[in-house]
Amino acid sequence: MRIAVAISGGVDSAVTAQLLSKDGHEVVLCHFLMSDAGEKSALDAKRVAEHLKLPFFLLDLRSEFESCVVQPFIKEYLLAHTPNPCVHCNPNFKFKNLIAFADREHCEKVATGHYAVVKDGRLFQAKNQKKDQSYFLSRLSVEQLKRIVFPLGEYTKEEVRKLAAEWSIPVAAKHDSQEICFIPNDDYEAFLRARAPESFIPGEILDTEGNKCGTHVGLPSYTIGQRKKIGAHCVRKYVVRIDKENNRVIIGGNEDLEQKTVMLTDTRWLIKPASETFEAEAKIRSVSAPKKCLVKVLPDGRTELEFALPERAAAAGQAGVIYLSGEVLGAGIITI
Sheet holding 212-216, edge to edge: 212-216, 203-207, 248-252, 238-243
Q: Do the strands 2-6 and 327-335 form a parallel or antiparallel pair, or are they unpaired?
A: unpaired
How many CB atoms within 10 Å of residue 57? Answer: 15
Rounded distance between C-alpha atoms, residue 212 and residue 296, angstroms: 38
Rounded distance between C-alpha atoms, residue 141 and residue 59, angstroms: 23
Q: Helix crossing, 39-52 with 11-22: angle to 10°?
A: 20
Q: Is 293 noted as a catalytic residue in this protein?
A: no
Q: Do the strands 291-297 and 258-269 form a parallel or antiparallel pair, or are they unpaired?
A: unpaired
CA angle 153, 183, 63 (to 5 degrees): 90
Would you say 317 and 83 are in contact if contact means Cβ atoms under 8 Å apart? yes
Active-site entry in 89, 107, 213, 234: 89
Tell me the β-bridge partners of 6: 30
Would you say 60 and 29 are in contact if contact means Cβ atoms under 8 Å apart? no
Would you say 79 and 53 are in contact if contact means Cβ atoms under 8 Å apart? no
Q: Helix crossing, 188-195 with 71-78: angle to 10°?
A: 100
Rounded distance between C-alpha atoms, residue 157 and residue 65, angstroms: 28
Active-site entry in 68, 86, 107, 181: 181
Upper half-sphere CA count for residue 148 (Cβ side, 13 Å): 30
Q: Is 181 noted as a catalytic residue in this protein?
A: yes
All residues at 6 or more sequence positions from 330 whose CB lies less than 8 Å from its CB, including other chains: 138, 267, 268, 269, 270, 271, 273, 303, 321, 322
Give me the active site residues, please.
89, 181
